[in-house]
Each structure stands twice: as structure tokens, then as C-alpha cells.
A and B are shown apart, each in its own frame.
Chain A
Amino acid sequence: MIRINCPFCGPRDHSEFTYGGDASIVYPALDAPMDDWHDAIFLRENPCGMQSETWHHVNGCRMWLVVERDTMTHEIRSVRPAHQGNAAVMSAAGDKS
């Protein structure tokens, strides 16, 4: 059981979340060429070690989070809201995560 420190709800079991995907992907503009979209959808680094990924707190606050997790050890280095506005508010308020 991985414990994820949700910035809104506190430390929770990973079973409260669903896994999203690779958070390092920057999706192209909707009118960008097909090749850009192909790369964003299908190409992944798949690292052995720390990676940035999204999780969705579906059984909690319903917020999307960006988590840095080691794919080998499951160690979580950081958790922040995916929404930059929320992230800014949380760190301005001095979140205790």
C-alpha cells in the first residue's frame, strides 16, 4: 500500500486514488500537427527510477496531483496539485505536505 500525502486531504492509501499517467507530457495545441499528437500520446520514457506522474484522488477531494515517485522503490519524493493555480495557493499558504 503506497501512502500518498494529498495536499488537500493528508496522507491516504493509494487505493483512494486512480493512477493517471506521465506528468511530463505537454499536450500540444488542439490544432497542432498529427505528429506532435502522436508523440504526446504514444511515446514514453518509462524510466527506472524517479518519474513525475499524475494521480487522481477520486475517493477524496477529486483533485489531480503530480507525484514524483521512484518506479523501483515506490518512494515518493513530492506531491503537489496538478493545477498550477492551486499549487500556487497551497505553497503560499505554506502547505504542510
Chain B
Amino acid sequence: MSARRQTSGGRIDREQHIRFTWDGRPMQGYPGDSLASALLAANEKVLGRSFKYHRPRGVMSAGVEESGAMVTVGSGVRRDPNVKATMQELYPGLAASGQNAWPSVRFDLGAVNGLFSRFFAAGFYYKTFMGIPPFEWFSKGTGLWMKYEKIIRRAAGMGEASRLPDPDVYDHAHAFCDLLVVGSGPAGLQAALTAAQAGFEVWLVEQDCELGGELLSRADDRLERQRVELVAELEKAGVRIMTRTTVFGLYDYGTAGLLERVTDHLAKPPAYLPRQRFWTLRARHTIVASGALERGIAFGNNDLPGVMNVSAGRSYLNRYAVLGGEQIVVATNNDSAYAAAAELAGAGARVSLLDARANIDGSLLEIAGDAGVSLHTAAAPLDATGSAAISGLEVAAASASGWRSESRIACDLLLVSGGWSPVVHLASHRGVKPVWNADNACFVTPEIGEPIQVAGSAAGIWNTDACFDSGAAAGVQAVKALGGKARAKSMPAIGGWSNPILPVYEIRDPARKTKAIVDPQHDVTADDIRLAHREGFVSVEHLKRYTTLGMATDGGKVGNIIGLALMAEALGVDIPAVGTTTFRPPYTPVAIGALKGRNVGEHFRPLRRTPMHDWNLAQGATMTMAGLWHRPWYFARAGETISEAYVRETGTTRATVGLCDVTSLGKIAVQGPDATEFLNRIYSNPFAKLPIGKARYGIMLRDDGIVMDDGTTWRLSESDYFMTTTTAHAGKVMVWLEELLQTRWPDLRVHVTSVSEQWAGSAVAGPSSRAVLEACVEDPSVMGNEVFPFMGVIETTLNGGIPCRIARISFSGEMAYEAYVPADYTGAMMDLLWNEAQKHDGCLYGLEALGAMRIEKGHVTGAELDGRVSIDDAGLGKMAAENKSFIGSAMRNRPELLREDRPRLVGIKPVDRGEKFNAGAILCAADKVSGMGEGWITAVTHSPALGHWIGLGFVSGGHQAWEGTTLVAADPVRKGNIDVEVVSPHMYDPGGERMHG
């Protein structure tokens, strides 16, 4: 008793042979085969093992709902687990293997789990092993559970993923179209052609490798001719045809997410192609012709290899020329199975047909009779038997008191049809709940209220010719909605069977104990549904999550309707009363790599380089990330460690001169007749009387009184200001200025322009800084102390005619200047400055040295101004103007910000000067090292000036409140606890004398 490849027929290319391996064994197939069809043709029955019970599983379908033949394809870095063999196109050299089994799927020791299935029922995770008496009566009851959980976690999961970095490349793409047609079955083909011939731009997107949908599984010459003609006309009409592409989600405003599998079917993918493409398609109109999926019926051992959908049996015969068995039983409750049964009999199998219905009309009797199919009415499958694959079936007969076991029949293939479920998922993504159609025992999509229509079997239309018509009708509606002209066509009615379906979801004889699988991927049984009901998890949302029904990779395509029906029966209500859970994208799984596209590794975030980048590297800089920017971290000389480098840089800058790239600071040109008024409103300190040619340090508050940012603003002329911000907040401040000018103060005549990238800047710091600049400017007299005092600003020219603006401002705390040139002149400026600085034995310094100096001085940065602190917390309260109102002035003295125990800026030193602590540590009182503590550490450095670790941070009440007390810097994650003392944050040159030279 076995499956076999037919000698003719099918859509396979018999001229070529494809060699592949299954579990290391060499096999053969043809182009056009899926992995599943090739394995079936080789009579491989057991292809997998189930999740919990390790039951043997085989091919259950011929499509995306496959839940039995889940295999691992490839090895090493290209190992793909949980691949549905039905969706994997066969290619030369494909290496597939079974998963979730040891030593193999054919003989799996994990099957022992089945013996303990009582303990693995739904919800076992929350119940089993907990509070086992008497051991755990007097404790939390989870002691044993914590030990068992590790074992269970290791056993969980199906296939195993590679842990190596993904070597493949994935692309993002964007497009627009007039009409998106999802699915290329009869309805989709016709709809696309109708709109294309009316002159609209149409995308026809098909998840399969070929157009035709259900037509590909038919053995009808007329239909095949129709299909071929339609495809040719579509190509002629310029329709954008996308095969191997899934529309996985419909989103707002006609946006669709598409996943194009570019090379998954190729043995040797070309290096220039991405593996997959994630498209964002914006369509003015959408037609969903996504077809319908056949459901099964729950009965004993309905998951045995050799049990599959009727349409799958038909597809394997007609599309792949594989006859799945010699003694076939077809079990159904609806008309659609009859044509398939006749075709299978015509292919040479002995076919018996069980129809659950007692009464059917003559047309069906004729089909069965003509084909030699042995027909039994009022009959249904009760219990499949066989060890690793089906060998027989216990048949039940309908009686007055329900289903009763009646007879046995031998078979090697059992095909089941419990009805059809239109694929309503995409419409449901738009928030439209599907509606139950009792006549056809399925959910359908009601009016959507967006330019989206459903056509074909997705709309519950069963007859193929009617599907073509419905596609045309939908196409016409789309044309009209898009503004074109077309003659109206009426939409065919839902349904199309000549005999009504008999709703059957489970065959159960109370006198017999059987195990029926409802969700094969999660081993959810019919009894589990009833258990959930008994335990009170009756809402459809609870049913899903408690039993995990529908939560696997098929998203409930196989088991959800049956699960709903069983819950409805337990509750004594109709199916629609139970409802449905929400369908969310993706319709089928999408690789995270595809969603990420090329934004991985170093491209995870944009990388920003200053115009000084290459010059810094040429000088030996080691770079570091500061937000999105690459900035120099330190300039190590031969053999230096980072510590040696930054200590030398700090020392040299303080002794003579140092140059530092400060280009990443935000720079904004604030210009216009009302610029002064504007600045005076947004800064907390006075700006109305800033003289031309002077700069001022300013602090900006938020509306709620918390500090937003600090920076230095230079006045270049009456109405021209150059504002600088912190690197981290540059973008935010720019947005804030634009918001104020456009939404609150539209009368102010001010323009703001981001010029961050237009100006490159270098700090020139140290006692020799003036001398260096004097030698670099064309007119040295502009550097004189009277004409260029502290906080002065000049616009001048560097040697060689380089336009330059210089401010005498200092972040390092040393006597310093910041010189800016238009970005194109960066290299020229740096060459000039560095050439001169070297004559003074100066150095280049990076962020580490800059950080050390500013921490020693107690100067704040974004690390301190983190959105939680007020101007008083930062110790700068004296700067706030008393005689003007400004943004934040009303709220900065609200009660919360005036509390005695507000966090205040402090310096931190270890009690034992040899100890170290980290930024992020929590400062706690010594007798209460827990919880939120009294403050936190924002930044640390090993101080070159003081010779030990120091930090800045905040502590409630400030350092005065903790005079003479030891605090604890608590850092349980990294370092443990260190005793510290808090001091004034100005730990070096507290008088600020060095700045004034």
C-alpha cells in the first residue's frame, strides 16, 4: 500500500531530474515539485513529530496551512527550521531533514511524551508541578516548578534555528498603484484584467510560484486554456505580476505589506540579489481574491500521516502527478469532495466516499457511480488506526442518538473535507469582524467601508465559473471607484453547492475513547477545548491563550473554526456567539531580516561623521559613538593605552594647548528683526541686551520648568544670531524652535535654519590657545584681549583667506576658543591650527579627555540634563532671570520643583580613593541600600588632576545635606557597592580662574 508518481500528467517537467536529500538519504524529484510532493511520490510518510506528544506527522495539505510536514531545510548558517514542505520549491541539492525528534522522525524517543499526555493537557504549564503536597504547603509552591521549568524550556520549540549571523541581504522597496489584486485564482486573474484593460495600473500579487491559484490543481483542459489566455492578456495589458510574493497585511490608507521571496527557490542564488524583499505598496484600491482553505474534522487520530485535505489529495494528483494511495477513503460533509473522489478513482485508486449527510441529490450519486467510487451516506470517520501511518479507519454511522461506531475499512490514504473557510484575514486586518454564514458554515467578510473588495472563494463563492464572474464584477467596481468607466456586472451570490453542507466539526462516540487533534502544531486536542470550558476559559480570547489554539505558525488556519465550534457546543450557543479572535498581520510568517532590510549591523542607525572625520583618523584618532555621531575618543601615540592617552591629552591641554573636534554640536542660525525678542523668551537667562560681538551661555527650559538644553548663542549682528546646542539635543531644539515660531508666536519675524553640517568647529584650549590663533589669523590684532575679551565673538579670516568665526568660550574650563569655518574648509583650518599647536608642544584631544576635564569642573551635559532636573537641581538657578517671563518661568517654581529633597548636582568621590564606580550607580543612604535610593551617578572619570575616580551625579538635598556622611554607590548588576562621599561638583579650579587666562 503506497503512494506513487503517475506516469503522465501533472505540471512537472519530466525531462529534468532534481536530486535532493531527505534526512541525509538521496532522493529525486522534478522541476515543479514541492518538497512535499517529491517526498510523497517517494512514499515517505513520516516527515515530522508533533510539538508536545511527538506524534508522527506527515503531509496534511498542499498549501500555507501545512501543519504536519514542517521540516528543516539547509544547514549551518543557512539552516531554516519550521519550513512547510508544501511551500518549499524543490531545487537541485536541496537538503531537508526532520526536526523535533531524536534520533529521527521515523523513530523518535520523544514519543514517550505521549504516554504522559495526561500531564501535558492545555494549561499544564500553569498547573503541573506546582504546590505539590506536602512539600510545598508552607512555601510559595513554586520551588519544584523552578527546577522543572528548565527541562520543559529545553524541550519546547520545534525546529532549531542557526545562531550564526544571517549572511543574506534583504531589501526594502516601495511602490504605488491604482489597484492591488491579491491572489491569482479565477477571480483575481479576471479582476486584474478588467482593471488593466480600463487603463489602470494594476499589481497582481500571488504567493505561489505560478499564476492560477486553484486552477493549477484541476485536470480540465478548458480551464487550463482559459488560465493560459488570461495570463497572456495580463502580460500584454502591462499588469505588474508578482509571483512568490505574499500580501501579508493590509494597513491604513490602502497600504499593503508584501513579502517577495526572491531566491528561496534557487539552488545557487546570485550574489547580487537580495534573498527577500519587503515591499510597502500603496494602492488606491484593493481586491482580495485570496481564496478559501479547506477544513478538516476532528476525530480519533486525525493527525496520522496519510490523513490530509481532500483538495490536497486532488492537488497532488493533478498538479504533481502523485497518487497518494491505492486504497483511498474520502470523508466529507459537502459537495466539493465528489469531483476529487472521481478523479482519484480515475487515476487507478480504489476509492470509498463517506458522506456525513443522509440525503444527497442525484447529481452526486451520478458522479460517484460513474467513477466507480463506493459511496456511503450518513457515514463519517471515527478513529484512524495505524502505527506510523494510517492503515485503517473505524467508521461511524449517524443514528438517532448521535454517531456510533459501525464498521472498519482498510485504507492507506484518508482525505477529509469538513467545509471551506474563506481567507478573510486581510479584510480583518482592517478591523472588520467576519460574519458567520450559516448556510455555508463559514465566516465571510461584510462591507468594509474602505476601497477594498473581496471576490471569488474568499467571498464564499464556490463555483469556478462564478469565481471568474465575481472577479469581473469586482474589477468593474474598482474601475468605477477609481474614476473610470465600465459596465456594471452583478456579483454572484455566496455559495454554489447543489446540496447544503452539513455542519460537522467533530465525530465522537461517547462509548469509545479517542484523541482528536484540533490544532496540530500545538497538539491541542478536542478534549483540551472542553477542559478550557470546564475551567472557565470560555471567551474566545481566553480559549485561544489558555489552550494555545491558533497561536502557531498557521495562525489557526487549520483548527480555529473547529475549536470555536467545540466551544460553542460546550456553551450551548451558536458559533457566531462565541466570536473570533482578531486577525493580525502577518498572514504567513515573515522573516525579521526582511523587515529590517539593510538597516542591520553598522547600518542599524544612521552614522553621522563630521567634516573633520578623515582628518581625525589621519591623525590617529580612535573613534567612538556619541549618539549617531562618530567622534574622536582619544589620540593614542605609539604604544599608549586609552588611559595613558587621555591623561596625557588632559595634561598637555592644561599645560599648553589642545585642539578638539566640536563639530557635532547643534548649530542654528536665528535671524530676523525679532530674533532678540525670540531668544529672550526661550532662554531662562537674560538675552535682550546681549551686545553685538558677544556670546552668552544660555539654558532653555521646557514649559513645565524642567531643563531642556543648554548651549552658547553668539550675536553676530543686530538681527543675526548663531545658536549652539548640545550634540544630543540638536534635532529636538530645532523642532522646538520651529514649533514655537509656527504654532505659538506666528507674529515674530524670525527664521531659524539648521546649520549644524555647514559649520565645522574646533576647540582651541589651554594657556597657549591665544598664541596659536594669533599665528593662524591674517590679522593678529583681532585676538587682542581688549578687542576680544572672554565671551567675545569675532568674524575674521584665517591665513589663506578662510572665513572664520571665533568665540572665546570654554567648556573644558581652560582658557579657550571655539573656531568655526564653513565645512569645506575643515581640513585647511585643522592643518593650520595643528601646525601651529605643535610648535607649542600641543596635542589633539578627544571625548575621553574632554569628559575628564568637564567632570572635574562640574560642567553639565546631556548626561545630567536628562529631562528630570530643574535649573536649580543643576546648580544654575542663579542664572534664571527675575525680571522677565520666559518659557518655563511660570512652572519652574511649582511646589514639586521647590521641594527640600530635590536632587541636586554633586561631585562624588570614593571614600577609599583606590576604588572605582560606574555611571548609572544608585546613591543610597548607608543604612538603606535598596529601592530608588537618594540619587544617581551620571558620569565618571579617573581624574587626571586628582589622581582617583570621581563622578558627577544628583543626590536629594545636595552635598550640603550629606556633609560628613558616607553614602553607598549601589551597582548590583556590575560592581557591587562602594562607599562614597558627595562634594561640590566643582572639583578642580572651583574659582574658574583658568578660563580667564
Q: Do A and B come from one complex?
A: yes
Q: Which of A1-51 contact B (CB under 8 A)?
A: 1-3, 13, 18, 20, 23, 27-34, 36-38, 40-41
Contacts of A84 on B, CB cut-off 8 Å?
Answer: 746
Q: Does B894 contact A (CB under 8 A)?
A: yes
Say which one of B72-80, B188-196, B203-211, B735-743 lies at the interface with A: B735-743
Contact between A37 and B703, CB atoms less than 8 A apart: yes
| Contact across chains for A31 and B885 when beta carbons are under 8 A apart | yes
Q: Does A41 lie within 8 Å of B704, measured CB to CB?
A: yes
Measured CA separation A56–B737 after assembly (Å): 12
Whether A83 pairs with B252 at a CB distance below 8 angstroms is: no
| Chain B residues with CB below 8 A from A18, complex form | 735
Which residues of B are found within 8 Å of A58, using beta-carbon distances? 735
A34 and B891 form a contact (CB under 8 A): yes
Residue contact B255 to A1, C-beta cutoff 8 Å: yes
Binary contact track B237-276/A, C-beta < 8 Å → 1, others 0: 0000000000000011101000000000000000000000
A residues near B, CB below 8 A?
Answer: 1-3, 13, 18, 20, 23, 27-34, 36-38, 40-41, 54, 56, 58, 62-64, 74, 81-86
- Chain B 864-895, CB-CB to A under 8 Å as 1, else 0, gives 00000000000000000000011101110110
19 examples of A-B residue contacts, CB within 8 angstroms: A1-B282, A3-B252, A3-B255, A20-B739, A30-B885, A32-B890, A34-B891, A34-B893, A37-B703, A37-B890, A37-B891, A38-B894, A41-B703, A41-B891, A54-B739, A56-B738, A64-B738, A64-B742, A83-B742
Please, how many angstroms separate the alpha-carbon atoms of A56 and B732 in the complex? Answer: 12
B854 contacts A by Cβ under 8 Å: no
A74 CA to B889 CA, complexed, in Å = 36
Q: Which residue of chain B has the shortest Cβ distance to A63 in the bound complex?
A: B742
B163 within 8 A of A: no
User: B residues within 8 A CB of A86?
Assistant: 742
**With an 8 A cutoff between CB atoms, is B681 at the interface?**
yes
- Which of A31, A81, A82, A85 contacts B890, CB < 8 Å? A31
CB–CB A30/B890 < 8 A: yes
Q: Which residues of A contact B743 (CB under 8 A)?
A: 20, 23, 54, 64, 82-83
Indicate whether A38 sits within 8 Å of B746 (C-beta atoms), given known contacts A1-B280, A3-B282, A64-B739: no
A83 touches B280 (CB 8 A): no
Q: Which residues of B contact A30 (CB under 8 A)?
A: 681, 885-887, 889-890
Q: Which residue of A lies closest to B746 (CB)?
A: A83
Q: Chain B, 383-417, contact with A by CB distance < 8 Å: what is the 0/1 string?
A: 00000000000000000000000000000000000
Residues of chain A lying within 8 A (CB to CB) of residue B704: 41
Residues of B within 8 A of A63 (CB): 742
Residue pair B253, A3 in contact (C-beta under 8 Å): yes
**B739 — which chain A residues lie within 8 A by C-beta?**
20, 54, 56, 64
Report the separation of the CA atoms of residues A57 and B783 in the bound assembly, to the nearest whole angstrom.
43
Asked if B225 lies at the interface with its beta carbon under 8 angstroms from chain A, I say no
**For the complex, what is the distance from the CA of A13 to the CA of B281, rounded to whole Å?**
11
Chain B residues, Cβ within 8 Å of A40:
703
Distance, CA A95 to CA B252, complexed state (A): 25
Q: Is B974 an interface residue (CB 8 A)?
A: no
Asked whether, in the complex, the Cβ of A1 is within 8 Å of the Cβ of B253, the reply is: yes
Q: Bound complex: CA of A13 vs CA of B891, how far in Å?
A: 36
- Interfacial chain A residues near B893, Cβ < 8 Å: 34
B744 at the interface (CB under 8 A from A): yes
B251 (CB) vs chain A CBs: closest residue: A1
With a CB–CB cut-off of 8 A, which chain A residues contact B251? 1
**Which residue in chain B gives the minimum CB-CB distance to A20?**
B739
User: Is B703 touching A27 in the complex (CB atoms < 8 A)?
Assistant: yes
The 7 A-B pairs of least Cβ separation, nearest first, read A30-B885, A31-B885, A1-B255, A64-B742, A3-B253, A37-B890, A83-B742
CA separation between A2 and B251, bound complex, in Å?
9
The distance in angstroms between the C-alpha atoms of A83 and B893, with both chains bound, is: 31
What is the chain B residue whose CB lies nearest that of A36? B890
Contacts of B735 in A (CB 8 A): 18, 56, 58
Which residues of B have CB within 8 Å of A29? 885
Q: Which of B252, B681, B738, B891 contacts A2 (CB 8 A)?
A: B252
